[in-house]
Amino acid sequence: MNQITIERASLRTTIDKVAAAFSRLKGIKEGLVGADQPSGIQFEEWDWEVGVGLYGFLRRALATQDRKALDELVAWYAWQIERGLPARQINSTAPMLALAILTEHVDRPDFRALVEDWADWLVHQLPKTEDGGFQHVVKERLNDGELWDDTLFMAGLFLGRAGVISNREDWIDEAVYQFLVHARYLSDPVTGLWYHGWTFNGRHNFAKAFWARGNAWITVAIPELFELVPSLSSKDKRFLSNVLKSQVGSLKRHQRDDGMFHTLVNDPTSPLETSATAGIAYGILRGIEAGILPERDRVHADLALMAVLRQIDQEGVVHGVSDGTPMGHDLDFYRRIPNLPTPYGQALTMLLLIDVLLKGGTN
């Protein structure tokens, strides 16, 4: 299959619509909340859904050297810090990734101080599981003794980049260790797919679910780590590259002919799921860009891209996204999760579309 060609103007319009729908789904009014200006970033809440979207916006702003967009990010973070940030946990760490990168482009000592304090908190105060894994603490529950696959995107990437910008090898080492310890307990050596979670309280993988969105977080996180932490050792790159190639090899075998993935990757009776499809496509593209995956894998990203585009309506709402998914204890739990528009579906779709716009595949 040849590389897909999409009109750049059409793609930009779609991205703008998806971003606007993101704001509407969060119930946010027009304008930068809390500021006396008519436009700007429209996300009031500080959470992981917003964090994923902000990372996409920042990548686009830096690639296009859009100073206005960077200034809007600065204003948003300044306002959030002034009003007071929520309690620290895994999911509330997600917006810190874009902030860490932003500190490399603006002179804000207060931003840098927050980045360093938060990274130190992750290393020394976040509850740890056996073997020193980041316990997947969220605002709803402590999840005692549990490792979840989304932790690596929500917190691991931030810690790695914080280590780079602060010249803290110990933080970088800890971030890499989290990837390794999560791979030990969540990556299935038979299929290459990742389980949703692991508990040391019982020592099992819960429902043994190969949850698609969880797998997408991994497909994205590994190549992102390669870019965010250029100093990764050759042995760590070798290990993580093989983990990703094994996972993507299995994902390709389970991709439908129309490009979509199911909520449970290996269960064709489970619902189709757009956020996972977008995340996997984005991760494959990033894996190719990082030199981990071969160029021939682009066909699978292209198929998924076209499938995701078909799920976006005229208002920019991404359909076919499974609702928030806590840890399931049987596979039917995942099959019963309803599909509905969600902010993270919008965010993962934005990451994919922005990468396609910036890196090629368009005319």
pLDDT tens profile 236-281:
999 999 999 999 999 999 999 999 999 999 999 999 999 999 999 9
pLDDT of residue 22: 83
Q: Where are the domains of the chain?
A: 8-358
pLDDT of residue 91: 96
pLDDT for residue 112 is more than 60: yes
For 31, counting Cβ atoms within 10 Å of its Cβ (0-12 exposed, 13-18 middle, 19+ buried), the class is middle
- Supply angle C-alpha 298, 274, 161, rounded to 5: 65
pLDDT of residue 24: 80
User: What span, in angstroms and rounded, lies between the C-alpha atoms of 60 and 56?
Assistant: 6
Taking only the tens place, the pLDDT of each residue in 327-358 is 999 999 999 999 999 989 999 999 999 999 98
Question: What is the average pLDDT score of the chain?
Answer: 92
pLDDT for residue 234 is more than 50: yes
Structure tokens at 264: 């449970």
pLDDT of residue 30: 38
pLDDT mean over 135-152:
96
Give the DSSP per-residue string, 185-206.
Answer: HHB-TTT--B-SEEETTTTB-T
pLDDT for residue 32 is more than 90: no
Better pLDDT: 30 or 186: 186
Better pLDDT: 117 or 37: 117
Taking only the tens place, the pLDDT of each residue in 200-224 is 999 999 999 999 999 999 999 999 9
Q: Which of 176, 178, 348 is nearest to 261 (CA)?
A: 348
pLDDT for residue 118 is more than 50: yes
pLDDT for residue 285 is more than 60: yes
Helix, strand, coil percent values for the chain (each to nearest 5) = 55, 5, 35
pLDDT of residue 19: 84
Distances (CA, A) of 177 to 131, 159, 234: 10, 11, 14
Taking only the tens place, the pLDDT of each residue in 49-106 is 889 989 988 988 898 889 998 999 999 999 999 999 999 999 999 999 999 999 999 9
pLDDT for residue 163 is more than 60: yes
pLDDT of residue 155: 98
Q: What percent of the chain is predicted at pLDDT more than 90?
A: 82
pLDDT of residue 31: 37
pLDDT of residue 26: 66
User: What span, in angstroms and rounded, lies between the C-alpha atoms of 28 and 81?
Assistant: 18
User: What span, in angstroms and rounded, lies between the C-alpha atoms of 172 and 326?
Assistant: 28
pLDDT for residue 37 is more than 50: no
pLDDT of residue 2: 42
pLDDT mean over 28-41:
42
Do the beta carbons of residue 119 and residue 162 sit within 8 Å? Answer: yes
pLDDT of residue 35: 38
Sign of the CA dihedral running 317, 321, 322, 327? negative
Helices 157-165 & 109-124 angle (0-180, nearest 10)? 130
CATH no., domain 8-358:
1.50.10.10
User: What span, in angstroms and rounded, lies between the C-alpha atoms of 310 and 304?
Assistant: 10
Do the beta carbons of residue 232 and residue 176 sit within 8 Å? Answer: yes
Main-chain phi, psi angles of 41, to 5 degrees = -70, 135
